[in-house]
Amino acid sequence: MDPFTPKPSLLKNILVRLLSFGVIIFAVRFAYFVAIRGQSCVAGDDFCLFNVRHVSSSASVKSQKYVDYYSSVFQDLIAEGFLSPNSKCLCIDTVTGDEVQALKRIGVSESIGISKKESPPLVLRGQAWNQPFKGNTFDFEFSSGLERSGLPAELLGSEICRTLKPGGFLVAHVMAKDAYSFQSFLDLFNCLTLIRSREIDDTDSSSSTIREIVMKKESEERQNSPLKAISGNKCSVLELKREMIRNAESLIEQEPLKPWITLKRNLRNIKYLTSMVDISFKRKYVYIDVGARSYGSSIGSWFKKQYPKQNKTFEIYAIEADKAFHEEYKSKMKKNVKLLPYAAWIRNETLFFEITRDPRKKKAAEKGGGMGRIHPVQSSASYLKDVDKIQGFDLAEWVKNVVSERDFVVMKMDVEGTEFHLIPRLIETGAICLIDEVFLECHYNRWQRCCPGQRSPEHQKTYKQCLDLFQSLRARGVLVHQWW
């Protein structure tokens, strides 16, 4: 045997000692994280028991700043009677657990948090709309990040209502400073009553503020009306939208001599609703194109590319009765667009429509215009000449069945004069109050591009009548824009 080769017993002893030393190191590090740091892992670090990462002093200071801030917030809520040391508390979407640490610091020991990524023992895996708890568990729930929770808004309210005890409080810090988004947030909760709302300093800067909302759970859920309809012939949301309408672009009061230029240029001046308010707390997002024509006419060329959607995914409905445009909506590229191959009308009935099919307008038709536009002639009660037979449906009743006040709804309407029938019907039924923003092309006997000094014989309404229609909608609290 080679004298330099260790004996088997000696090699075994060396391996045992090395293994024992490794176990001791593991135990010491485990004791450090659990007993001293109070958690098994540095937040955001995977497998940190085996690979301790240095936590910068700046991160530690920032976390301490947040704990101090929330401790002050919760102490105020205790003083106001919304929270007590005996409360069982849940912090929603707390990434680092700072809110939970703050609660424990001020003596509220039964506190836990949930987040997409768990950080035991302070934060469990869960989300605002999918909480891993039984019903009626908590006396107090808090969140400072519902806007970024990735929420299906329709589930958020019901889930918080499920886990919060009757008489319990929800306190939320949100960025909903405008009246519209604030009301959208309140509408999420059928079981909660608003106690108070105020602006307080934000965590990062004393110069910025956020809204603190306190709500209390009732013993029974309120039964909200599916449609608050019209009060005094005006939408119930008039007060919320009055400021937005005041900030919207002015209507063009003087009839343009070259409407094909003026109205197109006006598109640049439009102040979209989504540029003025936060729509984060809506249940779903819907775009309805009435008189859609081809996909590229307004859905593909304008709404998908230009309308500011705040990164929300919209359900899109294309309402188009002209069969010439139906085939292209069957394409896989348009599979997220729901085609309604009918005529928007004031009731459900068979209609007869005259369809313009001028071969000289073929090129315009390929871009979504001109050829194939539908002009309403009359209802089926008095059939006349060369027309196509098409099914009409009650647009107002359809809107009321598809969307609610909790949804964000945008409508574009280009129906070759039928707007003077459809808009009064939408107002009469209250369906207009469910539509947040309207882009309306009003058809009148405009000056013709081809023939200076001559007006279009296709429409009998005047520009003054169109302007009256726009003004009446805005007076009712409807944010309407002049479309072309």
- Tens of pLDDT, residue by residue over 189-203, are 889 999 999 999 887
Separation of alpha carbons 375 and 385, rounded Å: 13
pTM for the structure as a whole: 0.76
Last residue within a domain, chosen from 192, 217, 242: 217
| pLDDT (average), residues 102-127 | 93
Q: How many domains does the chain have?
A: 2
Burial of 233 (0-12, 13-18, 19+ CB in 10 A): exposed
Strand order in the sheet with 374-379: 343-345, 388-394, 349-355, 374-379
Separation of alpha carbons 271 and 247, rounded Å: 8
Domain contains 52: no
Shared domain check, 433 and 472 = yes
- pLDDT at residue 420 is higher than 90: yes
Q: Poorest-confidence range of 34-43, 112-121, 123-132, 222-231?
A: 34-43
219 Cβ partners below 8 Å, 6+ apart? 166, 167
Domain contains 46: no
Domain contains 49: no
Q: Which of 7-11, 147-151, 196-200, 394-398 has the highest mean pLDDT?
A: 394-398
| pLDDT (average), residues 114-141 | 92
**Which domain does 128 fall in, by range?**
57-217
Shared domain check, 301 and 181 = no
Sign of CA dihedral 446, 451, 454, 456: negative
Shared domain check, 464 and 336 = yes
Return the pLDDT at 26: 66
Return the pLDDT at 335: 77
Separation of alpha carbons 328 and 324, rounded Å: 9
22 versus 206: the higher-pLDDT residue is 22
Domain contains 1: no
Residue 331: how many CB atoms within 10 A of its CB?
Answer: 10
Last residue within a domain, chosen from 217, 244, 274: 217
Shared domain check, 306 and 210 = no
229 versus 418: the higher-pLDDT residue is 418
List pLDDT tens digits, range 246-287. 889 999 999 988 887 887 788 888 999 999 998 988 889 999
Last residue within a domain, chosen from 188, 217, 246: 217
Domain contains 404: yes
Residue pair 244/273 in contact by the 8 Å Cβ criterion? yes
Return the pLDDT at 334: 78
Return the pLDDT at 129: 82
Residue pair 322/297 in contact by the 8 Å Cβ criterion? no
418 Cβ partners below 8 Å, 6+ apart? 344, 345, 376
Shared domain check, 402 and 375 = yes
Report the SS3 class of residue 348: coil
Return the pLDDT at 190: 87
- pLDDT at residue 362 is higher than 50: no
Return the pLDDT at 160: 92
Shared domain check, 161 and 280 = no
Shared domain check, 290 and 162 = no
Burial of 232 (0-12, 13-18, 19+ CB in 10 A): exposed
Query: pLDDT-based confidence at 128, cuts 50/70/90?
Result: confident
Shared domain check, 193 and 317 = no
| pLDDT (average), residues 350-365 | 58
Shared domain check, 394 and 474 = yes
Helices (H) and strands (E) in the chain, counts: 12, 19
Shared domain check, 206 and 78 = yes
Shared domain check, 103 and 184 = yes
Q: Token match 């009548």: residue?
A: 465
